[in-house]
Amino acid sequence: MIGKSQFQAPSEADISLASFRDHLRRWLQQEFAEPLTDDGHSVEESTRHGARLLAQLYEAGWNRFGWPTEVGGLGGDVRHRAVLYDELCRANIEPPEQNIITEVVGPALVAFAPDIAAEYLPRVLRGRAILCQGFSEPESGSDLASLRCRATRDSAGDFVLNGQKIWTSFGHLADHIIVLCRTGAPDSRSRGLTMLFVDMTSPGVEARPIRFANGRNELAEVFFRDVNVPQDRLVGEIDAGWAVAGYLLQFERGMYAWMRHAMLSNRLRQLAAYLAVSSPDNNTTRYQQRLGEAVLAVAALRARSSRTIDALAQQRTVGPAASTDKLLLAAAEHAVYDLARDVLSPAFGLDATQPDILRWRNEWFYSRAASIYGGAAEIQRSIIADRVLNLPRE
């Protein structure tokens, strides 16, 4: 980073997307003399890197655009956040990894728990706190309505939470978790679920990291044993958590896909640059068809997720068509990282030691889960077949 930039965020009176993009692009060019890189060796270091970047963005105002003024933002809509990720990646700057969850949980808090959002979202945007979401359980993944983590009411009206969550991104690092739990009868399915905002430092909360094959603590399992949750930590209404989850899912499909598209576009630029200067055995001609296929896969993801983001900006319900975003995301992840694996071989092997190669390999390992996390591909195809294409049921 160099000295204080002369390019500042546009005023709240002028937050057009074109003005925002132009000001941001010039600010990034001056503020970062060299790319701000994340070695990606550990999730823990990546979040520390992200916190430093968030602090810079917040001080200059950039990541406050796209959030309502009532919760510490500077106005605008979800498209301003999309432009931020575009321009960061264009400048070869890794977006803060913890924003993956901020983009999913943050809008739900704004819509269903504005007081909680006003209290905590500014800390998250400053890089001083991390959020996570507790949805999946050991026996409730794709069938989320069958979850068993339960909250009961005590004599004071507060909640007492018991159960387990798994596959929780940043669960071992987070300060707060938004938990979907059962408050209705055991067989109430989606009608008896409630969303709670839980302090991870509360007595009875335990988070254990889950290490992936890439050696990173990508996820965690979280246990709740008689955890007291004050009644003002309710997100939405009691037994109406399914509506909160459905609202949240739109942003998981739209904004997460957009973040990944921006990052994948940058990865493709890096691969193309590598091919341009590599040895004759790894020249562009050898991989040009696959490079083109990967470019098309990322372009398809951008085209589809841009429609989702436009709908979110207009506060329209995205609906089941967002399952297409999820399928295209998995296709793009696999196309880019499978190409990288082959282009960078044999240095890509298990005995890799070069930092940049290790980062590529770690990301390749994680890309394997792209067709599973957030809803398995088979489930997404069924949703599209049944609820979008209205195909005959078997």
The series of mean pLDDT values per 10 residues for the chain, 394 residues long, is 49 77 93 68 90 95 96 95 96 93 96 98 98 93 89 97 96 98 96 98 98 88 98 98 94 92 95 79 73 96 96 92 94 96 84 82 91 88 92 83
Domain shared by 186 and 294, yes or no:
no
Q: Which residues are catalytic?
A: 252
CB neighbour class for 3 (10 Å; exposed up to 12, middle 13-18, buried from 19): exposed
Which of 238, 267, 293 terminates a domain? The answer is 238
CATH number at residue 112: 1.10.540.10
Rounded to whole angstroms, the Cα distance separating 115 from 231 reads: 13
- The pairs formed by 228-231 with CB atoms below 8 angstroms and a separation of 24 or more are 228/154, 228/158, 228/159, 228/160, 228/161, 228/202, 228/203, 228/204, 229/151, 229/158, 229/159, 229/160, 229/161, 229/196, 229/197, 229/198, 229/202, 230/158, 230/159, 231/156, 231/157, 231/158, 231/159
Amino acid of residue 57: L
Quick check: is 165 in a domain?
yes
Quick check: is 6 in a domain?
no
Task: Scan for tokens 């800390």, then name that residue.
Answer: 123
Contact between 274 and 343 under an 8 Å Cβ cutoff? The reply is yes
The pLDDT, as a whole number, for residue 287 is 87
Other beta carbons within 10 Å of 337: 23
Rounded to whole angstroms, the Cα distance separating 143 from 137 reads: 10
Domain shared by 369 and 269, yes or no:
yes
Helix (H, G, I), strand (E, B) or coil at 209: strand
CB neighbour class for 4 (10 Å; exposed up to 12, middle 13-18, buried from 19): exposed
Which of 238, 270, 290 terminates a domain? The answer is 238
Contact between 28 and 101 under an 8 Å Cβ cutoff? The reply is no
Quick check: is 9 in a domain?
no
Where does 331-380 show beta strands of DSSP type E? none
Contact between 180 and 135 under an 8 Å Cβ cutoff? The reply is yes
Contact between 168 and 219 under an 8 Å Cβ cutoff? The reply is yes
Rounded to whole angstroms, the Cα distance separating 94 from 36 reads: 7
CATH number at residue 214: 2.40.110.10
Rounded to whole angstroms, the Cα distance separating 325 from 311 reads: 13
Token readout for 272 is 């193309």
Its pTM surpasses 0.75 = yes
The pLDDT, as a whole number, for residue 140 is 84
Domain shared by 255 and 212, yes or no:
no
The whole domain housing 248 covers 242-388
Domain shared by 343 and 264, yes or no:
yes
Domain shared by 360 and 277, yes or no:
yes
User: Which residue from 366, 299, 379 is spatially nearest to 334, judged by alpha carbons?
Assistant: 366
The pLDDT, as a whole number, for residue 357 is 87
Domain shared by 362 and 329, yes or no:
yes
Domain shared by 216 and 353, yes or no:
no
Helix (H, G, I), strand (E, B) or coil at 282: helix
Quick check: is 4 in a domain?
no
Quick check: is 12 in a domain?
no
Domain shared by 147 and 108, yes or no:
no
Domain shared by 262 and 190, yes or no:
no
Other beta carbons within 10 Å of 223: 16
Domain shared by 259 and 346, yes or no:
yes
Which of 185, 218, 238 terminates a domain? The answer is 238
Token readout for 269 is 């630029």
Amino acid of residue 200: M
Domain shared by 114 and 51, yes or no:
yes
Overall number of domains in the chain: 3
